[in-house]
Amino acid sequence: MRTRWMGWVAAITTALVCVPAGAADFGAHWHDGKAELDGYRLVVSRYHEDRTGTAVMIFVTEPFSESKRVKVDDARANPADTFDALKLNLVRDFQTGIYDYNTMVSVFVRTETMEPVKVSFSSAEWCGHVYSEMVFAPKEIRGTYASYFEGESGPIVLGRPKGGVTEDELFIALRGLRGDFLAAGESRTVPYLPGCFYSRLAHHPPEWTQATIARMKEPQTVTVPAGTFATVLYDVRIADGRTGGFWIEGEYPHRIVKWSLPPDVSGELTGSKRLEYWKLHAEGDESWLKEIGLPAPKQ
């Protein structure tokens, strides 16, 4: 399946010679047949205490179905219904006393426009499961929320205000993979949809609020376990009272070096690697985790 996908990518890359340089740079980097894996040291606030854990961000392009909103097996089978998507899987794992949380947010955006098309979320811990999915249309967001908590399950139906930004897409948008989200020193107040992870831990249904996002004028030097980086700092202030920041690597591909946005107290980069990770599933391939600064599980 990956071979068929790479054939479709070759056609896209050839077409990029007719588009602006920024888009061509995107294609050259992100259509190389690999995924970007970023490891993080994570601190999460839960039950009024800071919990230490790990996070992994997996960024990869893949062919996506317009009608089904899923990855397609053969991108050439129905090209009229297939577009190029950038996917982020953000995995958070942390312990709370005797039991742990294992969560993942999947964010899909069109690589042509960087607009979100789908966000899904899952959470597993000893009490039970939660799953949500939101599909984005031009004027609305529809989906479903399934929870083991009474009274939380049901359909999701939201408007889509002009210029609205979702918290989950910030992890892609602020990287500026096709151009800066904001100019240095610029700020913008936008309709804002809090993230799935926050909504789950706070037991808040998804609903639009407002946030002010500002890019600091001067670069910031940040030291994390992966090293010292020159970064661009984005400040985020949400009407619900949460405040935080994203420190974005100055050089392409503008990785997220650090972030802090409650309930995430901090996420600090431990390592980064471009890999065909889907091939690294044999016994012993756990050792590759050290490439992104994370410990291999004990056998």
Q: According to the model, what pLDDT value does residue 4 have?
A: 52
Q: How far is CA 265 from CA 45, 124, 132, 234, in A?
A: 6, 20, 23, 16
Q: According to the model, what pLDDT value does residue 224 have?
A: 98
Q: What is the phi/psi pair of residue 16, to 5°? A: -65, -15
Q: According to the model, what pLDDT value does residue 10 have?
A: 46
Radius of gyration of the chain from Cα atoms?
Answer: 19
- Domain ranges for the chain, please list them: 2-292
Q: According to the model, what pLDDT value does residue 95 have?
A: 97
Low-confidence residues of the chain, pLDDT below 50?
1, 10-21
